[in-house]
Amino acid sequence: MVENPELQKTNVEQIEVKSWQIEVEEETTGVRLDVFLAKALPDLSRTRIKQLILAGDVSIDGARIGEPKLRVKPSMKVSLTLPPPEDPIPKPENIPLDIAYEDDQLIVINKPAGMVVHPAPGALDGTLVNALIHHCGETLAGIGGVKRPGIVHRLDKNTTGIMVVAKSDRAHKHLAAQFADHGRTGPLTRNYVAFIWGHHQGFSGSINVPLGRDPRNRLKQAVRKDGRVAITHFKTLARYSGDNWHIAKIQCSLETGRTHQIRVHMAHVGHPVVGDPTYGAGFATKALALPAPLKAIIQSLPRQALHAAHLGFTHPKTKQEVSFSAELPADMAALDRALEPYKNQTVG
């Protein structure tokens, strides 16, 4: 027996990460199986070990054992493998939501900046899912047999705007199919408003370059030849200019829905989103050339100036086309007002 499986003694072999094989020694003869393992593996509680035995994760000499009270005998080889940890079950949290529409099948919300959509390492609470579980309560019919909201698309933590979430399996399946189609054959439409640095040489156009995970930083996306197809269509809504600076207000629509797609695509063509700390950090000094009031607003902008302004889709129950829009949030509206005196007369 060993006190710590990390100590590679002759009678204990750690065959892989979080998997152990332990040989029973003479002095442990007659000890209950759960007690034996609890002493051999002090990092695991006896309660946890009992659960693993009952779940069939423990075997003796190759045969699965489901009886914690079984008495061990000398030379037995006891194996235990920890299953992958289960995803945490999000807890309901009373977080205010800006609700644009709700019925028994779905809910449409205007997501604020700073809110993560789904629990993940580093953000296990305070998310949109936590808020929805609390708000929807018993009206959640369940997704896959679990009472949880059905996320069919996401917005970055610091991107604001319209999102739709399913409340039933039926709605989840129907909406997921529409988002997978990206509006190619159906009525799904997604329009974003963004402020970007510079003036694109065309008043409108498309960016079609593949995206994938950045090999140097797993938290970022990058243009990659081996990436997934990503297509962003854009048109200029307004252009603003001053001494040695240019900013444009654009509308983007997505033909695909890759992570950070608009932000990476606009940075790729040399016009990153204003305030983007990840893909536009190199343009932060451009704010120094701006007139004082405008410079102050942009330097205080805590996020990328990107907003999901419009979403249209077919309702999964009524089969009617519905659409929802959200005005610019306060920070982007302030930027919009501050730019107005510098607006060019010619817009595409």
Taking 50 as the threshold, does the pLDDT of residue 212 lie above it? Answer: yes
| Catalytic choice (156, 214, 226, 243) | 156
For residue 347, what pLDDT is reported?
A: 53
For residue 86, what pLDDT is reported?
A: 52
Residue 7 lies in a domain: no
Single out the residue in 162, 181, 200 at which a domain terminates: 181
How many CA within 13 A on the CB side of residue 197? 26
Same domain, 173 and 213: no
Contacts of 56 (CB under 8 A, 6+ apart): 64, 66
Residue 4 lies in a domain: no
Single out the residue in 181, 211, 227 at which a domain terminates: 181
For residue 108, what pLDDT is reported?
A: 98
The mean pLDDT of 6-29, rounded to a whole number, is 64
For residue 200, what pLDDT is reported?
A: 80
Single out the residue in 81, 114, 135 at which a domain terminates: 81
Same domain, 51 and 154: no
Q: At what angle do helices 330-339 and 292-300 cross, to 10 degrees?
A: 160
Same domain, 200 and 344: yes
pTM above 0.75, yes or no: no
Same domain, 68 and 110: no
Same domain, 295 and 252: yes
The mean pLDDT of 181-185, rounded to a whole number, is 83
The mean pLDDT of 26-48, rounded to a whole number, is 87
Residue 28 lies in a domain: yes
Residue 5: pLDDT band by 50, 70, 90 thresholds? very low
Backbone φ, ψ for residue 233 (5° rounding): -100, 140
pLDDT: which is higher, 321 or 47: 321
Same domain, 57 and 193: no
Residue 6 lies in a domain: no
Domain count of the fold of the chain: 3
Same domain, 228 and 301: yes
CATH assignment of the domain containing 150: 3.30.2350.10
Taking 80 as the threshold, does the pLDDT of residue 111 lie above it? Answer: yes
Same domain, 164 and 198: no
Same domain, 192 and 334: yes
For residue 203, what pLDDT is reported?
A: 85
Taking 90 as the threshold, does the pLDDT of residue 218 lie above it? Answer: no
For residue 141, what pLDDT is reported?
A: 66
| Annotation says 43 is catalytic | no
Flag the least confident range among 41-55, 118-132, 136-150.
Answer: 136-150
Residue 240 lies in a domain: yes
CA distance 124 to 119: 5
In Å, how far are 137, 175, 176, 179 from 132, measured between CA atoms? Answer: 8, 17, 18, 20
Angle value at C-alpha 203, between 198 and 207, nearest 5 degrees: 80
Question: In one letter, which amino acid is 64?
Answer: R
CA distance 87 to 109: 25
CATH assignment of the domain containing 36: 3.10.290.10
Domain span including residue 165 = 87-181
